[in-house]
Amino acid sequence: MTATAGPSNEHGHGTEPSATFTTLYGAEPHGVWAAPGRVNLIGEYTDFNDGFVMPLALPHTARAAVAPRTDGVLRLYSTDVPGGVVSLRVDELAPHSGHGWAAYPAGVVWALRAAGHPVTGADIALTSTVPTGAGLSSSAALETVTALALDDLFHLGLSGPELAVIGRRAENDFVGVPCGIMDQMASACCTEGHALHLDTRDLTLRQVPFDLAAQGLTLLVVDTRVKHALGDGAYAERRAGCEEGARLLGIPTLRDLPYGDLPRALATLAGAGADESVVRYVRHVVTDNQRVEQVIALLDAGEVRAAGPVLNEGHRSLRDDLRVSCPELDLAVAAAQEAGALGARMTGGGFGGSAIVLAEAAEADAVAGAVTKAFAAAGHAAPGIFAAVPSAGARRLG
């Protein structure tokens, strides 16, 4: 397809990190690893409620050329940010101590060491084709590629879910971003041609076949290229509201509310004097968990097209109940729907970032064109649009 791809979408053509490594550090790396960004098909704001999510890995990856060190020195470099090599000592790493972008890989080293793993230093050169801040998990890609490389080099023998837990710990406790486990699990555990059904309560997972091409379908990602400042506070507020809802209902998490009990639970909340926002948040989380199960059943039955209306309903719920959408996301979704898409919804945390659009492959260009035209007509900068081909999770490249 001929979408409006910007430089960030030229996946697979980023700077080769081995050459960068050698130039910087004057030696050969011991290996090169890759970990992808992700897009979530369905199940939003469910992962901190012990619920279900269903991400797929993108072809866009973070790649790391790495060599281990034994002297406690950690050197980090990214081709994608200015500022040169960041040099740290592993025994001086402390949560919330800054370091800008380098806090993501440094946090992984800190989390591994905090878990008792003997990581004694490393030289790392990173490069990534995952668009940053677009809700496509460039941060988790960075964490996961670092964790996998160190796991290999220090022979730690960690599983994909264990690497994901390390990555989340780095992001939550070292960088200080309160994300759930979905992003790191997707980057570590997704496989080509599949979406990942993840139960965030116990990290059990299933690879659900999602062969779009064989079905004559395309899943577009529309990066709105906006990120509204509102996002951070709103995430914390939604999270607190969900916890309040569970507390008032006397259940550990919203995951523990059976779908059939939702109407009665909403009445209970209203009767208990819950804020009307809490009622809406509970309705979103419980129905979105249900939508994950609906989509899985449809994919298993080979009825991918029928997932379209479920995506549409997911957007309505995020827009009206959780209220985490924004004008640009609503416009992308509406324009795609009007242009004949099978389904569309915002994906990720909202307040900007990306939307996904399920369309007939033969109509994908027309749908992408309609979205781009609608953005121009509304005076927005052109969105970045590309096809999300379900790709491999973290792996060693060489």
d(CA 152, CA 83) in angstroms, rounded, equals 28
Closest to ligand ADP by CB, 110 vs 294, is: 110
Of residues 77 through 116, those in contact with ligand ADP by CB under 6 A are 78, 80-81, 101, 104
Residue 8 DSSP label: G
Among 8, 46, 61, 128, binds ligand ADP (CB under 6 A): 128
Shortest Å distance, C-beta 245 to Mg ion: 25
Other Cβ atoms within 10 Å of 53 Cβ, number: 29
Closest distance of CB 142 from Mg ion, Å:
9
Of 133, 193, 209, 369, the one binding ligand ADP by CB under 6 A: 133
183 annotated active-site: yes
Closest to Mg ion by CB, 17 vs 353, is 353
In angstroms, the CA 15 to CA 128 distance is: 8
Q: Does the annotation list 384 as a binding residue?
A: no
Residue 294 CB-half CA count within 13 A: 19
Q: Which of 50, 123, 151, 183 is catalytic?
A: 183
Pairing of strands 122-128, 73-78: parallel
Q: Tell me which of ligand ADP, Mg ion, none is bound by residue 80, counting a contact when its beta carbon lies within the kind-specific cut-off of 5 to 8 angstroms.
A: ligand ADP
What is the spatial distance between Cα 236 and Cα 238, in angstroms, rounded to a whole number? Answer: 6
Judge contact between 189 and 196, C-beta under 8 A.
yes
- Angle separating helix axes 276-300 and 308-316, nearest 10 degrees: 170
Give the x/- contact pattern for ligand ADP in 139-168, rule: CB under 6 A: x--x--------------------------
CA atoms in the 13 A half-sphere facing the CB of 205: 24
Chosen from ligand ADP, Mg ion, none, partner binding at 135 (C-beta under 5 to 8 Å by type): ligand ADP
Q: How far is the CB of 301 from ligand ADP (least distance, A)?
A: 32
Shorter beta-carbon distance to ligand ADP: residue 134 or 149: 134
DSSP state of 367: H
Q: Long-range contacts for 371-374 (Cβ within 8 Å, ≥24 apart)?
A: 371/222, 371/332, 371/335, 371/336, 371/339, 372/4, 373/335, 374/331, 374/332, 374/334, 374/335
Task: Please say whether the beta carbons of 357 and 383 come within 8 A.
Answer: no
- Residue 137, annotated as binding a ligand: yes
Instruction: Name which of 140 and 322 has its Cβ closer to ligand ADP.
Output: 140
- Over the window 111 to 140, marking each residue x when it contacts Mg ion by CB under 5 A and - when it does not, the resulting string is ----------------------------x-
Strands 343-347 and 352-360: antiparallel
Binding of residue 184 to ligand ADP (CB under 6 A): no
Tokens 């025994």 label which residue?
91
Binding positions for Mg ion, rule: CB under 5 A: 139
Binding positions for ligand ADP, rule: CB under 6 A: 78, 80-81, 101, 104, 126, 128, 132-139, 142
Binding-site residue numbers for substrate are 44-47, 235
Binding-site residue numbers for Mg(2+) are 139, 171
As annotated, the active-site residues are 183
Binding-site residue numbers for ATP are 78, 133-139
